[in-house]
Amino acid sequence: MDILKDLAEIAGSENVISDQAVLDSYSSDLSLVRGGAPEAAVRPGTTEEVSKIVKWANANNIPLIPVSSPVHLYGSTVPKQGGVVVDMRRFDEIFSIDKTNRCVRFGAGVSWKKLTDTLAAEGMRVVMPLAPRGDRSVLTDHLEREVITNTVYDYGEPVQSMEVVFPDGSIFRTGSASAPKFPYAYAKGANPAGPGLDFYRLLQGAQGTMGIVTWMSLKIQSIPLIDKIKFAPFDDLDYVEKFLFRIMPRRIGQEFVILNNVDFAAILADTREEFEELRKTLPKYTLAFIISGLIRRPEEKIAYEEHFLSDVIRHEYPDIRLTDGMPGFPQAADKLKQILRNPWPAEKTYWKAVPAGNYQDLFFIARPERVPEFIDIVRDVASKNGYPFESIGIYEQPIEHNRACQLEFTFMYDGSADGADAEIYDIYYKMFKALHAAGAYFTRPYGDMGGELYQKAASYKAALMKVKNLFDPNNIMNPGNVCF
């Protein structure tokens, strides 16, 4: 068997990669997970080519590792058992923008920058996580279930439908995208579940173990005619959590974030020196959110939300100091609004890398009232292991109208120092174990975290592997990763 020749017959010789330097680049990402280089990489250009590659891999028992952009974060695209990388970056077409039904359909290789720029030209936008990298795949972030900043219920589940090549090479479309004559059918792929089994859930969080997704349909919304960003500096997390639970179920506001001074300084700063100055002067924590007026009667909507906020603060939460800007930081409002509505520019140093060059994120789902407890655990583990707690970024993302939140800790460090990666990983893993023991809910465990969590849930893992074996009996799809 000649792997390169076989792949060239399917996708063309110009789309088969054998250069060792390029193959080595697939063996790591921005996480601390390390693996081996693939034997080859291929860049298909059609769903049919993907299907042929999957059928060929089954016939020859060759692992496939799907990737979809130059930027990956969690080790889920690092080859664990060699094989062939299926690089989807040629799937970079935006197929349709349906303004009436508010959805967009695009390929696996479409970046955040391309999608946001294209939608903006049509007066539309997509809800997004906090400052995703501009060159990262939109589809990948949604398969990884990245938490979005817009907490309005309508966008809590932004994925509409998708097309996938299953591990046997069959092509499948989820929900109403499977209707006859799609995409010309009236359904337009707008229902993710459709009748019967909710297949799209099978693919989210599966780390490429359940198939290769070629395109996706996402919810979009109109660009607001009026936006006002609000800030509330604070020290008492419990007080602010209760305030959010009071206003968010009333559908007040669009994007909401809580940032400590480390993360906020990293977002605002352009250099390490500027970061250090900002970190010293910014409040301990800042709540930031946007109220918006869309197309219909935007002034009245803004006036209603501002009146409601004023009334709640005056009568129920008088210690909330809500402002339209950050005193002493005249550029904060404009800059943060841009960050909440746009991806991070690819040409700029990513904000989490500004303070020290390298970083690792530890994130999980929690009940908001337990956030102070989890922060205390991180503080305790950091102090016992010689890591300065005041250097850790803390980002809380409210979800479900603040009935829950994603809590993220970012460890910023200089990766060029000898042994720095091993040292930060040791602290990172100790924090994971302490948080998990206290009840932190890790819904997206990667690397060794996943192994430990699944070890403690043997029956659950066994059930998952039964499902995996049904779809992928030869275990060719991203072997070495635990699905879901």
The domain ranges of the chain are 3-87, 94-222, 226-437
Mean pLDDT of the chain: 91
Confidence tier at 194 by pLDDT (50, 70, 90) = low
Q: In sequence order, what are the residues at sequence separation of 6 or more whose Cβ sits closer than 8 angstroms to the Cβ of residue 130?
A: 149, 257, 339, 340, 395, 397
Name the fold adopted by 94-222: 3.30.465
The yes-or-no verdict on residue 75 having pLDDT over 90 is: no
pLDDT in the model for residue 448: 82
d(CA 312, CA 308) in angstroms, rounded, equals 6
The yes-or-no verdict on residue 192 having pLDDT over 90 is: no
Q: Which CATH class is domain 226-437?
A: alpha beta
Residue 346 CA: distances (Å) to CA of 80, 302, 337: 28, 33, 18
pLDDT in the model for residue 184: 66
How many other CB atoms sit within 10 Å of the CB of residue 186?
10
The mean per-residue pLDDT over the stretch 408-413 comes to 95
Least confident of 7-21, 30-44, 313-327: 30-44
d(CA 21, CA 41) in angstroms, rounded, equals 12
**Burial grade of 480 (CB within 10 A; 0-12, 13-18, 19 or more):** middle
137-182 pLDDT, tens digit each:
999 999 999 999 986 766 678 888 899 999 999 999 987 777 777 7
Supply φ then ψ for residue 253, to 5 degrees.
Answer: 90, 165
Q: β-strands 392-399, 404-413: how paired?
A: antiparallel
Is residue 394 within 8 Å of residue 130, measured between CB atoms? no
Is residue 393 within 8 Å of residue 131, measured between CB atoms? no
DSSP bridge pairs for 366:
405
**In terms of CATH architecture, what is 3-87?**
2-Layer Sandwich (3.30)
Share of the chain above pLDDT 90, in %: 73
How many other CB atoms sit within 10 Å of the CB of residue 89?
17
The mean per-residue pLDDT over the stretch 271-276 comes to 95
Is residue 275 within 8 Å of residue 265, measured between CB atoms? yes
d(CA 158, CA 148) in angstroms, rounded, equals 9
107-142 pLDDT, tens digit each:
999 999 999 999 999 999 999 999 999 999 999 999
d(CA 396, CA 132) in angstroms, rounded, equals 16
pLDDT in the model for residue 153: 62
pLDDT in the model for residue 255: 93
Confidence tier at 373 by pLDDT (50, 70, 90) = very high
Cis-peptide, bond into residue 388, ω within 30° of zero: no
The yes-or-no verdict on residue 191 having pLDDT over 70 is: no
Residue 431 CA: distances (Å) to CA of 285, 376, 381, 411, 425: 21, 11, 6, 11, 10
Residue 324, classed as helix, strand or coil, is coil
pLDDT in the model for residue 484: 60
The pair of structure tokens assigned to 223 is 């660009």
Is residue 50 within 8 Å of residue 86, measured between CB atoms? yes
Q: β-strands 404-413, 40-42: how paired?
A: unpaired
How many other CB atoms sit within 10 Å of the CB of residue 53?
23
Which DSSP letter does residue 110 get? -
Is residue 331 within 8 Å of residue 282, measured between CB atoms? no
pLDDT in the model for residue 154: 66
Confidence tier at 481 by pLDDT (50, 70, 90) = confident
The yes-or-no verdict on residue 189 having pLDDT over 90 is: no
The yes-or-no verdict on residue 381 having pLDDT over 70 is: yes
311-369 pLDDT, tens digit each:
999 999 999 999 998 888 888 999 999 999 999 998 899 999 999 999 999 999 999 99
Residue of 407, 412, 445 lying closest to 427 (CA atoms): 412
388-407 pLDDT, tens digit each:
999 999 999 999 889 999 99
pLDDT in the model for residue 330: 84
How many other CB atoms sit within 10 Å of the CB of residue 422?
9
The pair of structure tokens assigned to 34 is 């390390």
